[in-house]
Structure 1
């Protein structure tokens, strides 16, 4: 049994490597070539969840599961919010062959998936990025989006301005891209044509009235039914693309709230990102259209990334 720890994942699973892996995994998912159940989430206590995600990359391919805890309070204490393991099984023998640190894979592949969606749905000239949130996904999303778009500016909002300021300084130094902290969300998104919501907000922090025409959004922070990051107006106004239709219909909080209000129907999900990537449905239809990618995450993203590390690709 091999173990691939957090440091090895961070060193080897670069965004240049992970983005195409996730892209192909989502195309396969939308084609029905992968096998998986909806994630099972067990609430442990306030702000604490345990998730179980089984799946297979193909009926005769590598298979396994992700076991992960999500402790929202960890970020304030300098600990990862997502911790766990990806367990890989050999498709030939059925034997468990590898354990991989799931926290680091989750951080990288989630941002890689948003980068895939941004590349497919954002305007080609989009380059002003707004990040709402200051946790580990904020850092990973900045790095991933910078891989697929030439960024002109980065604006960061967080509930604690000092954290947003520190992150802006770090990204400015690392990437050489002008980065600033914003005291209020409307200020953060005023110029943005790419917005990533990566917060732990329980109620909307972003309103449709603040978002410019032509903007692309990655809605990432809420991964289960309940907490929402954006208001109903923004959901209604957007061309809404799911990472997986079934998952969003069951667990996509922002979509579910707008539907419960009677503002949209299930058909408001125009398709899955894998369908856009495969060319079976159109993505952005005009320069003025607002596009939204709802990310819940899929175990095939984890399995494909982990298997690439195990197989030595």
Structure 2
């Protein structure tokens, strides 16, 4: 069985290919059962959580991502999240590959954002603003650079010192201008694309600050209690999601305005299935503000794992 490390997984998933693989999987579809969610006791500390996310294409490939979340690991100087992906032959059942779950998740998440931006961001978008300085931030930059001619990236984070260092580190790696935001308010008014990957429980992106034609990509705030966008953005924007089922029940940027009555499920213009299948055209006006919310789907993991396996084997 093939075993792919973090570095091998990264090298096997170049963004142009990965974005196309996700698009094809959303077009063709796959079987995607509801993910399994199990808490397990750990004596003397908070419970851990085991997540099992299966998906398969009949006669093609099958896979399951296993993720363990252990909050108490912070006391052990260990990551709170550990994950692996097991890919199988869906015809014979043969186990084909074990793929690093963290790198697969980070790259497929960023690729889904870029796939949405392919339909929703203006074709002349050049300035990207990223909120957050975690693992997803450099991936979101690279993914958006694969589908738009990004010339300038601004980074915002809660710690100015950490954000400045993060921007300096990236500046030496990418052939574009990268800077730390001195003011989130000012940065929001300048950006063509705003991509947020935070765990915020209070809105960070104010809709009245965005310029006409901006595209907002909301990746963080994956629980109903979290939120990155305010009500002004919800009212101003055309709303798109990765999957309706996931976003209507999980992400606070959709769940909270639904609960308050600000929007209804019918206000979601389209999901990635509809965009990739040509059932909705995406952006239709240069002046429209578009918003994309993602919470992730096992379909994306399967597409990425299949691509990684095929790239290494062939």
Instruction: Check whether TM > 0.5.
Output: yes
CA offset at residue 209 of structure 1? 1.7
Aligned to 2:35: 39
CA RMSD of aligned residues (A): 2.5
State TM-score, norm by structure 2.
0.90
CA offset at residue 49 of structure 1? 5.1
Check 1:229–1:72 CA distance in 2 against 1; reply closer, same or farther (3 A cut).
Answer: farther
Q: Give the structure with higher Rg (CA).
A: 2
Matched, 1:8 2:4: no
Check 1:275–1:309 CA distance in 2 against 1; reply closer, same or farther (3 A cut).
Answer: same
CA offset at residue 259 of structure 1? 1.0
Check 1:174–1:52 CA distance in 2 against 1; reply closer, same or farther (3 A cut).
Answer: same
Is the 2:119–2:281 contact (alpha carbons within 8 Å) kept by the matching residues of 1? no
CA offset at residue 138 of structure 1? 0.6
Q: How far apart in 2 are the matches of 1:248 and 1:274?
A: 14
The within-5 A match list for 1:130-149 is 130-149=129-148
Aligned to 2:255: 256
Is the 2:12–2:307 contact (alpha carbons within 8 Å) kept by the matching residues of 1? no
Aligned to 2:185: 186
Aligned to 2:24: 24
Matched, 1:94 2:112: no
Q: How far apart in 1 are the matches of 2:206 and 2:280?
A: 27
Check 1:295–1:81 CA distance in 2 against 1; reply closer, same or farther (3 A cut).
Answer: farther
The within-5 A match list for 1:1-313 is 1-28=1-28, 33-42=29-38, 50-56=50-56, 58-70=57-69, 82-311=81-310, 312-313=313-314
For structure 2, list consecutive stretches of 5 or more residues without a partner in the other structure: none
Q: How far apart in 2 are the matches of 1:81 and 1:204?
A: 25
For structure 1, list consecutive stretches of 5 or more residues without a partner in the other structure: none
Is the 2:167–2:180 contact (alpha carbons within 8 Å) kept by the matching residues of 1? yes
Is the 1:69–1:82 contact (alpha carbons within 8 Å) kept by the matching residues of 2? yes
Deviation by residue 1:197-247 (Cα, 9 ceiling, x = unmatched): 111212212121222221111110122332111112212221111111111
CA offset at residue 87 of structure 1? 1.2
SS class of match (1:190): helix
SS class of match (2:22): helix
Bigger mean CA offset, 77-86 vs 269-278: 77-86
| Aligned residues between the structures | 308
